[in-house]
Chains A and B, each alone.
Chain A
Amino acid sequence: MTKVNADLKVTAIEQVAEDTFTLRFQSSELAGQLKPGQFINILVSERIEPLLRRPYSISNIYNDECEIMFSLLGKGTHILAEKRPGDTIGVLGPLGNTFGYEKSFGTAVIVAGGIGVAPFPYLTRVLKEKGIPTVTFLGARSTSRVVRDGLENLHIATDDGSEGFHGNVIGALAEYMQTHDVDRPMIFACGPNPMLQATQSFAHEHDILCELSLESEMACGMGICQGCPIEHHGGGRKYTLVCTDGACFDSRDIIFHEHHA
């Protein structure tokens, strides 16, 4: 696998929901090797603020273009949102492991909260190519923030009740799973830690295979800084690293604490 650390050309940027964007950049090298669940680290400008790169999931691949999805949060994402085709961004990757989409299961149950939806258009497409059906549960603050592109069998939950299930996404998931006969489900979840923790509990209670894609502060993305520990079971070590051992983990391996909220 060839690692890339280069300034790459932005080819497209599009607003896909309120304060939410997709950005494409050109790299045949990365497009050829990035898999669903992996991430890249982006340096938005040459300036020393922001100083560090930030991790972004790959949201899709189109020929020799890679796409990320982001919502406006801090300085870096505001700079990214101002990028136009022809501008450059610093990209480093591929980083992290992939979702376990090669495992044996019948239906992919996607659970996403907020911008945690980012890795799922790519996963959905790859599963579709393998003939595996997907059902997607998407939680958002409000209908204006719902990202729909690239997702299938979409079930929406909104905090304000402006669309779909009024409440959190785990409520929508539980209701569906109770009333439908889902063939050998496997859950793939990404979103805020409280949502992931609730997904973990749900999966354990119902004995469903479940993978969580975690987010963490990280400085390097390659196991050097030791800044992204997550407590886990086994292995003789208390912590494992989100960047190199994840970002995708079997939900049975991860231990959440209150500080993750």
Chain B
Amino acid sequence: MNTSYTLGTLRMKNRVLVASGTFGYGNEAAAYTDLSRLGGIVTKSVSWKPRQGNAPTRIAETPAGMLNSIGLANVGIDAFISEKMSFLRELDTSIVVNIAASSTDEYIDILERLEDEEGIEAYEINVSCPNVKEGGLNFGTRCDMTETITRELRRRTKRTLIIKLTPNVTYIEDFARACEAEGADAISLINTLVGMAVNIQTRRPVLSTITGGLSGPAIKPVALAKVFQSSRAVSIPVIGIGGITTWQDGIEFLLAGASAIQVGTASFRDPDAAVKIVNGMEAWCLEQGVEDMQELVGGLRIDEGVKAPGFVKAK
């Protein structure tokens, strides 16, 4: 069976990656899982300068999910290159560097800095972090900004360019189309949904930033629907993210239209979760007589004439 998947310069041994912010820079979880079994690692977001992140409390568990407001705490581009890349480069898995920034220029500066680094197969552009004041969601919820960033970065790299989209918009398909039109190689979705939690004893919000990003199994049905909608709106591949916890979840995303998947919050629960998902998906495909996982992508069986409601944009 063929499990490999190639997306431009990103050549993965399978279709399962670990999502940005849920797997650090690869080294932290190395003692708990076989990194060489992963299709790829998407790094923690890297910004130009180190970011301290938000004040505590930064996380809260909610029913079948969690809220986070980390605020893109990361080491910054210099330390990323000098301290993190040597470990990542040696790994027998594909490396996707996730970039976060507060301006188009900062995205460009970071990408150009990374262009000289060997061992990076793709970039994932975070235009959708809900937890920072500048940039983040401001970009991801504005189609024109998403277009500009995609266009400017596309001009500057031949490496695979993936734009990570937020579900916190009215029509995610518009953003998917904008990315495709400006030359993105793929889109990944969904980033977290804006949510909040309240402590009734103190009558305060649980998170220091009041709202945060919701992830985990609670958001999987939303993510599946967004992947389905987006994958039908564009011809570039969609990478499915959102609450994937079991191998069955992974198959569901492929059927809904994802060409690859990312495992996120599940790695917090079990750092070996993504590898278990790889193994489970492969075993199921063998059992089902699937020769290439591409057969599953978008393979959802829908009777002729049946359409999902609510997809038609008001004129």
**A, B assembled together:** yes
Interface residues of A (CB under 8 A from B): 3, 5, 43, 48-53, 90, 92, 216-220, 222-230, 237-239, 257, 259-260
Q: What are 26 A-B interface contacts by the 8 Å CB criterion?
A: A43-B269, A48-B64, A49-B64, A51-B61, A51-B65, A51-B66, A92-B32, A92-B270, A92-B271, A217-B57, A219-B68, A219-B265, A224-B23, A224-B268, A225-B21, A226-B53, A226-B73, A227-B59, A229-B55, A229-B56, A229-B58, A230-B56, A239-B52, A239-B53, A259-B56, A259-B57
Q: Please state if A227 and B68 are interface contacts (CB–CB under 8 Å).
A: yes
Determine how close the nearest CB of chain B comes to the CB of A92; give it in whole angstroms. Answer: 7
A217 partner residues in chain B, CB cutoff 8 A: 56-61
Q: A48-B217, A51-B217 are in contact. Are A225 and B60 (CB under 8 A)?
A: no
A224 partner residues in chain B, CB cutoff 8 A: 22-24, 28-29, 44, 267-268
Q: Please state if B24 and A49 are interface contacts (CB–CB under 8 Å).
A: no
Determine how close the nearest CB of chain A comes to the CB of B179; give it in whole angstroms. Answer: 28
Interface centre among A43, A50, A219, A230 (most CB of B within 10 A): A219
A53 partner residues in chain B, CB cutoff 8 A: 268-269
Cα-based distance from A220 to B66 in the complex (angstroms): 12
Closest 7 CB pairs of A and B: A227-B59, A3-B31, A219-B268, A224-B24, A238-B52, A226-B73, A220-B268
The verdict on B208 contacting chain A, using a C-beta distance below 8 Å, is yes
A229 partner residues in chain B, CB cutoff 8 A: 53, 55-56, 58, 73
A228 partner residues in chain B, CB cutoff 8 A: 56, 58-59
**Nearest B residue to A50, CB-CB:** B61
Q: A51-B61, A222-B29 are in contact. Are A259 and B55 (CB under 8 A)?
A: yes
**Nearest A residue to B56, CB-CB:** A229
Scan B207-245; emit 1 where CB is below 8 A from any A CB, else 0: 010000000110000000000000000000000000001
Q: Please state if A218 and B53 are interface contacts (CB–CB under 8 Å).
A: no
Determine how close the nearest CB of chain A comes to the CB of B131; give it in whole angstroms. Answer: 11
The verdict on B272 contacting chain A, using a C-beta distance below 8 Å, is yes
Cα-based distance from A48 to B270 in the complex (angstroms): 12
Determine how close the nearest CB of chain A comes to the CB of B304; give it in whole angstroms. Answer: 36
Give me 15 other A-B pairs in contact (C-beta within 8 A), A222-B29, A228-B59 excluded: A5-B271, A49-B64, A51-B216, A52-B61, A52-B269, A217-B56, A218-B59, A219-B68, A222-B28, A224-B24, A224-B28, A227-B70, A229-B58, A257-B55, A259-B56
B32 partner residues in chain A, CB cutoff 8 A: 3, 5, 92, 222
Interface of A is mostly: loop
A43 partner residues in chain B, CB cutoff 8 A: 269-270
Scan B22-38; emit 1 where CB is below 8 A from any A CB, else 0: 11100011011000000
Cα-based distance from A92 to B44 in the complex (angstroms): 22
The verdict on B310 contacting chain A, using a C-beta distance below 8 Å, is no
Cα-based distance from A92 to B269 in the complex (angstroms): 10
A225 partner residues in chain B, CB cutoff 8 A: 21-22, 59, 68, 70, 268
Determine how close the nearest CB of chain B comes to the CB of A215; give it in whole angstroms. Answer: 12
Cα-based distance from A48 to B29 in the complex (angstroms): 21
A49 partner residues in chain B, CB cutoff 8 A: 63-64
B52 partner residues in chain A, CB cutoff 8 A: 237-239
Q: A48-B64, A50-B61 are in contact. Are A216 and B269 (CB under 8 A)?
A: no
Cα-based distance from A220 to B28 in the complex (angstroms): 10
Interface positions of B from 10 to 50, Cβ below 8 Å from A: 21-24, 28-29, 31-32, 44, 50
B269 partner residues in chain A, CB cutoff 8 A: 43, 51-53
Q: A48-B64, A51-B64 are in contact. Are A222 and B271 (CB under 8 A)?
A: yes
A219 partner residues in chain B, CB cutoff 8 A: 59, 66, 68, 265, 268
**Nearest B residue to A76, CB-CB:** B61
Q: A48-B64, A48-B217, A229-B53 are in contact. Are A220 and B271 (CB under 8 A)?
A: yes
A223 partner residues in chain B, CB cutoff 8 A: 24, 28
Determine how close the nearest CB of chain B comes to the CB of A20; give it in whole angstroms. Answer: 21
Determine how close the nearest CB of chain B comes to the CB of A156; give it in whole angstroms. Answer: 27
Cα-based distance from A228 to B53 in the complex (angstroms): 11
Q: A43-B270, A51-B64, A220-B271 are in contact. Are A259 and B58 (CB under 8 A)?
A: no
Cα-based distance from A218 to B24 in the complex (angstroms): 14
Determine how close the nearest CB of chain B comes to the CB of A1; give it in whole angstroms. Answer: 8
A218 partner residues in chain B, CB cutoff 8 A: 59
Q: Please state if B73 and A239 are interface contacts (CB–CB under 8 Å).
A: yes
Cα-based distance from A189 to B21 in the complex (angstroms): 32
Cα-based distance from A50 to B63 in the complex (angstroms): 8
Cα-based distance from A225 to B265 in the complex (angstroms): 9
* Candidates A48, A238, A239, A260; contact of B245 at CB < 8 Å: A48
B21 partner residues in chain A, CB cutoff 8 A: 225
* Candidates A52, A216, A230, A237; contact of B66 at CB < 8 Å: A52
* Candidates B65, B66, B208; contact of A259 at CB < 8 Å: B208
Determine how close the nearest CB of chain A comes to the CB of B100; give it in whole angstroms. Answer: 13
Determine how close the nearest CB of chain A comes to the CB of B121; give it in whole angstroms. Answer: 21
Determine how close the nearest CB of chain B comes to the CB of A33; give it in whole angstroms. Answer: 13
A227 partner residues in chain B, CB cutoff 8 A: 58-59, 68, 70
**Nearest B residue to A2, CB-CB:** B31
Interface centre among A48, A51, A228 (most CB of B within 10 A): A51
* Candidates B28, B56, B268, B272; contact of A216 at CB < 8 Å: B56
